[in-house]
Chains A and B, each alone.
Chain A
Amino acid sequence: MLRYLYGSQLDDYPKLADTMFRDRAAQFRDRLKWDVAVDAQGYERDEYDAQDPLYVIWQGPDGSHGGSMRFLPTMGPTMVNDHFSGLMDGDTVQSPYIWESTRFCLSQGSASRVAAALVLGGIEIGRGFGITQCVGVFDARMVRIYRMIGSSPDILGSSGTGAAKISVGLWTFDPADRVSVLTRARISSALSEHWYARAFGDRPAKLTARAA
């Protein structure tokens, strides 16, 4: 299922958090060879995990992490603006309608529908919170992944060449994409709405009271 969790809520899902930060180490340090910090617990965490971001996480039936990405509003501190504005000739991207999306991660062996489900999570956030675009930094090896999931960004700037090429990309949420993404993720609209409501919707107690 799709979970929408702020960093401060991860304590309630220890297995999910544990496997997510380990899977991130496996993807970003081991497979993509990024220069990321991995702590003694085997967790890949950075300063933006400490900013209480909003994570969209695919949780498997056993409660573990299947894939995830991380969102922060661009009106506050973001990786793109703090560290990669050089790729955009010193530009920063700051808008109430644009969030930063980083650490798009899939656990090893995740089905392709998990990637589609994460894209769906992004679309639901955009729809629900008035966000039209997402900005993020990625390297050449992610290009194939984005193409595979049908979510290739516009490029705002790049540096380096070949495998070492790093780019800042801009994704635009198009509500019309929701239909095809639902199909790819093999998730019904009702189920996605349910997951969204679980995270952001009316409190269950209230719903029960109203139904009664």
Chain B
Amino acid sequence: MQGNLRQHLATLEQATELSALQATTEALRDHYQVAHLGYHWVSADGEQYGCGTYSIEWITEYVTNDYVRIDPVIIGCFQRFHPVDWKELDWSSKPAIAFRTKAIEAGVGNQGYSIPIRGPSGQFALFSLSHNARDDDWAAFTEKHRRDLILCAHSFNQKALEIEDKRRPDPVKPLSGREVDVLTYLAMGYSRGQVAQTLALSEHTLRAYIESARFKLSATNTMHAIARAVSEGHIIMGGAARAATGNWPGRDPVQAAE
């Protein structure tokens, strides 16, 4: 992951209001150098929220004409959970053709890529990028950035859910014992191979624990996860220091004998 992206996601993580998500859509649009980028959520009871870089004119037109009912991106991605290139969608109906023409006129772009997310309790969200590009260039772009974009999508959704749920106490996501062990050893400077060996885990399993801990901590990479785990008191640096009394084990003969 590129450093800038990490920074944008860190900024997003700090957000306490939905309005702050808007700034991140703009930053990510510039980061990926695409025409537009947006996040759109629909809760089970039909409540909607969106932010993005589309022009105010296009948003107004979209809302006024209730395009959400004919937009193939919404229709095609709803009830899905795999990333979708807009070319895969059904643009063949007359309203869809007219909608596409208007969208292109409004500068949305002729290409698009959306990551649908199924959240808790029937919540649904879409994270989308759109651009003007040739088919092969767009395919290369989405393939290159797919995994980072998936992370962006889920980061937006986690943050939106968190802000939405603020009145209710946020369910704490404590790290499991194994996640703590893994991060502790990594923090001690062990390599992944060493950690796997020490904890008798395969490297694949180790990776799953790291991924899981990273997500619980909303960290953008392993180092970030370790830093957060330390700063939030999930792990204590030094590993062996966990059991130590604060003295120098071995320095004092009396203590060493204990």
Contact = CB atoms under 8 A, between A and B. Distances in A.
Interface of A: 6, 8, 52, 54, 72-73, 75-77, 88-98, 125, 128-130, 132-133, 135, 154-156, 170, 172, 200-203, 205-206
Given A96-B215, A98-B211, A130 B92 contact: no
Contacts of A76: 81, 118-120
Interface of B: 79-85, 87-92, 117-120, 146-147, 150-151, 153-154, 176-179, 201-202, 204-205, 207-208, 211-212, 215-216
Contacts of B150: 96-97, 130
Contacts, number: 90
Given A75-B154, A154-B204, A129 B215 contact: no
A129 B81 CA distance: 9
A95 to B, nearest CB: 5
A156 B207 CA distance: 12
A206 B208 contact: no
A75 B119 contact: yes
Contacts of A97: 147, 150, 211
A130 B204 contact: no
24 contacts: A6-B80, A8-B79, A75-B154, A89-B177, A91-B178, A93-B208, A95-B212, A97-B147, A97-B150, A98-B211, A129-B82, A130-B83, A133-B207, A133-B208, A133-B211, A154-B205, A156-B208, A172-B204, A200-B82, A202-B87, A203-B87, A203-B89, A203-B90, A206-B87
Contacts of B212: 91-95
Nearest to B201: A154
A89 B178 CA distance: 9
A172 B205 CA distance: 9
Contacts of B176: 88-91
A91 to B, nearest CB: 4
B179 A95 contact: no
A170 B88 contact: no
Nearest to A53: B81
Given A94-B212, A154-B204, 13 more contacts: A6-B80, A52-B79, A91-B176, A125-B82, A130-B147, A133-B208, A133-B211, A172-B204, A202-B88, A203-B87, A203-B88, A203-B91, A205-B92
Nearest to B117: A75
A12 to B, nearest CB: 14
B178 A54 contact: no
B208 A73 contact: no
A71 to B, nearest CB: 9
Contacts of A155: 205
B202 A154 contact: yes
A83 B212 CA distance: 18
Contacts of A133: 204, 207-208, 211
Nearest to A76: B118
